[in-house]
Amino acid sequence: MKYIYLILVLGFLGPATLTGLSTCSGPNEDADVSDSIPAQILPLRVMAYNIHHANPPSRPDSIDIAAIVRTIRAQDPDLIALQEIDADTERSGPGNQARIIADSLGMQVFFGKSIDFGGGEYGVAVLSKFPISEETVHRLPTIPETKGEKRVLATVKVTLAQDRHIRFASTHLDSQKEDTNRLLQIKEIGRIASKESLPLIIAGDFNASPGSEVIDILDQNFKRTCDDCEPTIPVDHPEKAIDFIVFHPKKAFKVLKHKVVDETYASDHLPIVADLEVQR
């Protein structure tokens, strides 16, 4: 009788509850993430956030990484592309900001250095709830005579499930008034995407708005998660959309939702979030 009772109890709990009783491993362990993800439909929440080296605009001389962490945690993204990251710089203090944020959120992290800065480094980063590998920094072109900052595309391979992989990237294009370097950089990103065998998501600060030549070229190669994109900068009175989440090929993902997060304290950019489904 006790064996029949046990079977009845297990049947009542159901597979979802039983899965919850199993031991969960952290993001840095070799877990079989496919156990908790449906075989056909893979939901994915992606965030792009230029964090302004964790310097709130209303407090010019302060660094508030906790505010960045709170903003991210409230959205609970699976993948995050961060820009304007300081690592061991004089202005922000010791530590790599991306790693500090990732540790606070229990996520994996890859930092891509753009330049040496203030006694340390400055660049972009990728954070992931899923295992990552094949971390690569692609150097984007900048014409020396323009004196523009060097820029990069930081990419990782993301293992969503045992047999499901994508490429995820963070970038921050040139910020000068003229499009000269941005045009070179967006064309190089298109070239990189054309050689990619995995579905690719790129998120970041493109320093250009829809209707510009830069975004026209972006749209030729990628699908944006927003068509009529809401502005993301400046935070007090947003006027321009320059932060985007895009993917290639254009049918690799289904866009369920795109939103601009109304968080005006932590950075001079508003973060953006997109809910996607990974297509077979």
pLDDT digits (tens, 9 = 90+) for 178-228: 999 999 999 999 999 999 999 999 999 999 999 999 999 999 999 999 999
Cα radius of gyration (the chain): 20
User: Is residue 82 in a domain?
Assistant: yes
pTM: 0.85
Number of domains in the chain: 1
**Alpha-carbon dihedral of residues 203, 166, 138, 123, nearest 10 degrees?**
40
User: Is residue 18 in a domain?
Assistant: no
- 82 pLDDT exceeds 60? yes
Rounded-to-integer distance, Cα 86 and Cα 121, Å: 6
β-strand 42-50 against 79-89: which pairing, if any? parallel
User: Is residue 6 in a domain?
Assistant: no
Share of the chain above pLDDT 70, in %: 86
User: Is residue 17 in a domain?
Assistant: no
User: Is residue 230 in a domain?
Assistant: yes
Q: Are 198 and 165 in contact (CB under 8 A)?
A: yes
Residue 59's CATH number: 3.60.10.10
